[in-house]
Amino acid sequence: MALLTGDFLFVGSLGRPDLLGDDAKQKLAGELYESVHEKIARLPDGVEIHPAHGAGSLCGAGMSERPQSTLGYERFCNVFMADREKAEFVETVLKSVPEFPDYYRRMKRINSEGPPILDSVPGLKAIPPMEVQEALHLNAVIIDLRRPEAFGGAHIPGSFNIGSGQNLSMWAAWVVPYDHPIILAGDDGTNIEEACRALIRVGFDGIRGYLKGGMKAWIEAGLDQAHVPQMGVRELSWQLKQSDKPFVLDVRSPAEWKAGHIEGAVHIPAGSLPNHIDQIPPDLPVHVVCGSGYRSSIATSVLQRAGRRAVINVDGGMGAWNAQHLPTTREE
């Protein structure tokens, strides 16, 4: 027997009840309690659950990377399914939800009204470098789909670095403005059509095309480049022991931050960074760290677009930091 749990029950988590706004969240959290402790209470432990989302989604807190589970396993391991009073459950669930992304409001409207009907997938036109340069003067934005180290080596000034893959649409929706034409930049291994489809799903319909020939063609055309230095964790650790300590910005989620972070680091989640640029000192180099280097590279591109030139991406992030057994601290 299997249960398709959609956005209700995830592996390691539950759906968030706050997406319809503050007025509805208490009521929906109460209904979530009833769903857990009444509606599925009589189902046997062996029932398989198949949720609609997994790790990386903002539709719940602390989802596991496992694609499926069983009710018995979740009853034993899922902290949100523990036996507790309704009031305590509601408080726990509402305190646990990740920050509400701004783009959810836009997607709520699009889902209610219906998305525009497209005749074909936009963005599949190859645009020569000089035409891309002209488009930039007309407020186009570049989404660079390459890996952080490739982006750091050379990229079009002002580009957002959001690597292609399953997290592209989510992070683009967090940081890329909707009211600008979009041009993609990739390399030989980039699936442009797949990237376009991912962006369309979160409301980006203004994709004009992609950079013909990639960064190689851009460089050969003699056009301006920007760079982001990549720093290893051992070098950062050494610098932190000096009298002139570097400024470290941690852009991971609140849960990751609480689990352990570099002492003295400043915490601003990557998705919130565009609204908190003023918290970053303008006169200091900023060393940006996340879990692996993916989100920190997004953050360095956001900082560069905001005019902060002295940014460094910490290669490997806290995963590499912990692998080297370097010290962390926690805040109670």
**Ordered domains of the chain (ranges, CATH):** 2-97 (3.60.15.10), 104-220 (3.40.250.10), 230-323 (3.40.250.10)
- State the Cα–Cα distance between residues 211 and 230, nearest whole angstrom: 24
pLDDT digits (tens, 9 = 90+) for 3-54: 999 989 999 889 888 877 778 889 999 999 999 988 898 899 999 999 987 7
| Residue 290 annotated to the active site | yes
pLDDT value at residue 114: 78
Kindly tell me the burial class for residue 114, based on how many C-beta atoms sit within 10 Å of its own C-beta (0-12, 13-18, 19 or more): exposed
Classify 147 as helix, strand or coil: coil
pLDDT digits (tens, 9 = 90+) for 208-217: 999 999 999 9
Q: Which of 59, 77, 196, 290 is catalytic?
A: 290
- For the stretch 219-226, contacts whose Cβ atoms lie closer than 8 Å and that sit 24 or more positions apart, written own/partner, are 219/154, 221/129, 221/130, 223/129, 223/130, 223/133, 223/156, 224/156, 224/157, 225/154, 225/155, 225/156, 225/157, 226/154, 226/155, 226/156, 226/157, 226/158, 226/159, 226/304
**Residue 141 β-bridge partners:** 182
pLDDT digits (tens, 9 = 90+) for 53-109: 777 677 777 788 788 999 999 999 988 888 889 999 999 888 887 776 677 777 777
Give the DSSP letter of residue 284.
S
pLDDT digits (tens, 9 = 90+) for 119-144: 778 778 999 999 999 999 999 999 99
Query: What tokens appear for 102 in the block?
Result: 């701004």
pLDDT digits (tens, 9 = 90+) for 229-238: 999 999 999 9
Would the CA dihedral through 174, 110, 139, 220 be positive or negative? positive
Query: What tokens appear for 117 in the block?
Result: 């009907």
- State the Cα–Cα distance between residues 168 and 91, nearest whole angstrom: 32
Query: Could you tell me the end-to-end alpha-carbon distance of the chain, in angstroms, rounded to an integer?
Result: 42
- State the Cα–Cα distance between residues 52 and 45, nearest whole angstrom: 20
Instruction: Tell me which residue of 177, 173, 149, 145 sits closest to 161, measured CA to CA.
Output: 145
The number of angstroms, rounded, from the C-alpha of 223 to the middle of its chain's C-alpha atoms is: 30
Contact at 8 Å (CB) between 287 and 236?
yes
Which amino acid is present at 263? E
**pTM of the predicted model, to two decimals?**
0.80
The number of angstroms, rounded, from the C-alpha of 78 to the middle of its chain's C-alpha atoms is: 23
